[in-house]
Amino acid sequence: MPTTVEWISLGHRHYDEALDIQMKRAEALLTGADERQAIYTVEHPPTITIGRNGTTDNIVADQSFLEAQGFAVRHVDRGGDVTYHGPGQLVVYPVLHLAPWDNDVKQYVRNLEESVIQALAEVGIVAQRHEEYPGVWVGDAKICAVGARVKKRPSGEFVTYHGIALNVNTNLAHFQTIVPCGIADKGVTSIERETGHAADFGAWETKLRQSFYEVFQFEV
């Protein structure tokens, strides 16, 4: 029987507020207080996050510029290095225990990537994984970042939080404030850039939700 997952749209939320929501749900799963599985979607104001493997050296804009432009900077406990979130970017935070998916963290990450690849293929964008780097790529340009965090609960199942960030109509100039994911010789792209026209943000959430359903084999 397919597992049941709540798909919850948070709309426009500050990074801290969305983080608090997902962390509370993750803690409930880790302690066994609440078994509900959830996937949150959100759009953040300009925010730079630094993962556990990251360094502030990969933020190339100075602090005064970031403050003037309204950027927040946060250290977070996901994997990976430095990344950017902002308007026009669809951020997806699955807060799941992985028992229904054989408790396989590597397969979980592949499923995240595959969900995006399949959704992009529907509009003719040919995307793929990169042998050396996580995420989803169009040529040498990243269109979707992946940065998950997993913890194990006493019963042995992994619980995951954080997730993916898909550039829909993102202002790609904002990525010039950082070395994205610490990779200096690669670029970034968006659905808007690849298709040549502005994308419907809400329609892309619907499209991505459908591809998640198909890849992960869950139901609402």
The predicted-structure confidence for 103-138, as pLDDT tens digits, reads as follows 999 999 999 999 999 999 999 999 999 888 889 999
Q: Which is higher by pLDDT, 155 or 194?
A: 194
Supply the pTM of this predicted model: 0.94
Structure tokens at 194: 């690849």
The residue among 12, 17, 26, 54 whose CA lies nearest residue 162 is 26
pLDDT at residue 199 in the model? 93
| Residue 78, marked binder | yes
Residue 80 marked in a binding site: yes
Collapsed DSSP state (helix, strand, coil) of residue 208 = helix
By mean pLDDT, which of 1-10, 51-60, 103-112 is the weakest? 51-60
Kindly report which listed range (37-41, 66-70, 95-99, 138-142) carries the lowest average pLDDT score: 66-70
Q: Is 133 helix (H, G, I), strand (E, B) or coil?
A: coil
| Annotated binding-site residue? 163 | yes
189 has pLDDT over 90: yes
Q: Is the pLDDT of residue 35 over 80?
A: yes
At 186 the pLDDT is 76
The two tokens of residue 137 are 């790529």
Which residue among the candidates 90, 179, 181, 208 is catalytic per the annotation?
A: 181
Question: According to the annotation, is 147 in a ligand binding site?
Answer: yes
75 assigned ligand-binding residue = no
Is 84 flagged in the annotation as binding? yes
Beta strands in 13-88 (DSSP E): 37-43, 47-50, 72-75, 82-85
Angle between helices 201-216 and 105-121 (to 10 degrees): 130
The residue that leads in pLDDT, 153 or 220, is: 153
Is residue 144 flagged as an active site residue? Answer: no
Angle (CA) 124-125-128 rounded to 5° is: 130
Mean pLDDT of the chain: 92
pLDDT on residue 69? 86
In this predicted structure, what is the pLDDT of residue 3? 87
CATH superfamily for 3-219 is: Bira Bifunctional Protein; Domain 2 (3.30.930.10)
If pLDDT is split at 50, 70 and 90, which confidence band does 53 have?
confident
